[in-house]
Amino acid sequence: MKTCISRIACSMLLCALVGLIGCSNDSAGFKTAYGDPDKIDVAVVTGGHGFHPEEFFALFEGQDDLRCIEVPLTDDSEVFEDISEWNYDVVMLYNMTQNISPKRQENFVRLLKDKGIGVVVVHHAQAAFQSWMEYHQIIGTAYIYFDVEIDGKLWPHCKCKGNQDIAVSIRDNKHPITRGMKDFTIHDETYRGRRWLEGNHVLLTTNHPDNDEPVAWTRQYGRSRVFNIQFGHDQQAYVCPEYRDLIVRGIRWTAGMKNVATASAAAKKRVELHQTSNAIDVMIDGRLFTSYIFQLDPAKPLAAEGVLLTKPVFFPLRTPSGIMVTRGWPFEKIEGESQDHPHHMGLYFTYDQPNGNNFWNNSTQSLPVIKHIQAEITTDTKGNAALATVMHWIGKDNNALLAEKRLTSFIPGRDQHIIDTDIELKALADTVEFGHTKEGMFAIRLAQWLTENSGTGAYLNSNGDEKEQGVWGKRAEWVRIQGEHNGTTVGIAILNHPTSTNYPTYWHARGYGCFSANPLGQYAFEKSRNVENPQHFNLTLRNGETARFRFRVIIYEGPKTKQQLDNEFRQYAL
């Protein structure tokens, strides 16, 4: 994704000389490794100890300057095996893993001594890597599990006690992490008897009889700032407002930000939906992101003569900076773009053969058609918006086969926008047989510059398969295509939710630009890929029965690695 860089070298040198007390790093020029002056990429290392991921990652909600990605670490993990393309500005250690090879130890130390990444140590990470003495030097302490001899001294095992109300005092109220904070009480686990190393600058203390006095501190290791906080056992700690504030401030401080209490990205982007007679425009901060088009505007006919709009579509789709990632045709003619498959329109959901009706391919006949019936717009206090729509799939005989209820949610961001789609198809006919065909189902027609065949794009799936040859016709949790547009890396990822029908979906991802998730074409794909004994899925709905389809679309700027998208998927699948 990127290579982390040293931040504000002069100020960091000053901190090393005078110590960390009160060092606020006020020099200008803070820059994360992406080159974005307001975004901090955080690797949240987990493993070796259970936790509550949904509640834990809620700590970062509303912190638009933080991009926190979980990086699970097991004894066999290779997260520190190769750091040549290390992607993060801060590593948050929330693991209790024990084994780490000498090579990975060396690489981790290099990240701190050479690259100067920030380090935040949370709760049980104080007990990680028991036998690695240098780790104790990095974090400034060690929670000892068993009696052990260290430097010729017998160190007894530590003790803990859960479900305690711990009164916390602010030791240093001038440090950027704790400036302006008041004493508080947190419900958490006590730690007593830890190994304590020189060089820690204490921020918080407690007089709890079952706890060591220091509970949070900073230190310097190599070129890296380290923030260590004892608390964080479970959601009872997560919900403490002061704890949430300390975690966020600690991340910002270790990354080198000068005003950790108020630093954030731009104000939360807002989504507004504006309905017209033929469409609903999705505006993000007053700028068109996409339009849900359910009827053609007579004043704006299609550029393709003789082509009809036979289904509602989202068109165009744009990145946060406004780059169009969908093909213009058949809505508009763009020089150099292909004009094949006029039924490929923006982002759409359809399938070719329910009861023999070619909903997918039809773009010239009035029937079959997916007819928009109604829409309801909702917004929330966070600036997100959702569109609830009802459609009827009407066959060649002018009778409705299916009712479609769709909830489409729009989640804006600084460098990516998300579209979440939750679709229910309900049979209105006595029986609806979907059959098997590659022509479906949740699809985007890519802009020419983003295609593999004539652009800069390249497919990658959750299995690690690459390009059309490796991705097409296979099951995968997600597929992305990523390319370059005038020097900017741009991508689209489609994720399939585990509750979706026939998950994980098959993929009809073509090099010419048809990018589609198709869970119902199982037999067609397996047969085409010469799978031994290809299996039919044969979805059949009887009157009143339903099937659910769920997808997330991420339209982003800046490169995304497989690891990042795996973590995006894990968060989506919660």
Q: In terms of Cα–Cα distance, which of 263, 192, 257, 254 is closest to 228?
A: 254
Average pLDDT of the chain is: 88
Which tens digits make up the pLDDT trace of 528-553? 999 999 999 999 999 999 999 999 99
35 compared with 247, residue with greater pLDDT: 247
d(CA 483, CA 447): 11
The answer to whether 548 touches 27, Cβ cutoff 8 Å, is no
pLDDT confidence bin for 37, thresholds 50/70/90: very low
Tell me what the mean pLDDT of segment 414-426 comes to. 94
Question: Taking the CB of residue 494, how many other CB atoms lie within 10 A of it?
Answer: 25
Question: In which element (H, E) is residue 18 found?
Answer: helix 9-18
Bin 136: left if φ > 0, else alpha if -120 < ψ < 50, else beta. alpha
- The answer on pLDDT for 263 being more than 70 is no
d(CA 97, CA 110): 20
The answer to whether 167 touches 187, Cβ cutoff 8 Å, is no
Domains of the chain, with CATH numbers? 9-255 (3.40.50.880), 271-573 (2.70.98)
Cβ neighbours for 136, distance < 8 A, ≥ 6 positions apart? 142, 195, 197
d(CA 428, CA 542): 8
pLDDT at 74: 67
pLDDT confidence bin for 22, thresholds 50/70/90: very low
Residue showing tokens 């949240």: 44
Q: In terms of Cα–Cα distance, which of 153, 57, 548, 171 is closest to 349?
A: 548
Question: Exposed (0-12), middle (13-18) or buried (19+): which is 535, by Cβ within 10 Å?
Answer: exposed
Q: In terms of Cα–Cα distance, which of 294, 394, 393, 387 is closest to 346?
A: 294
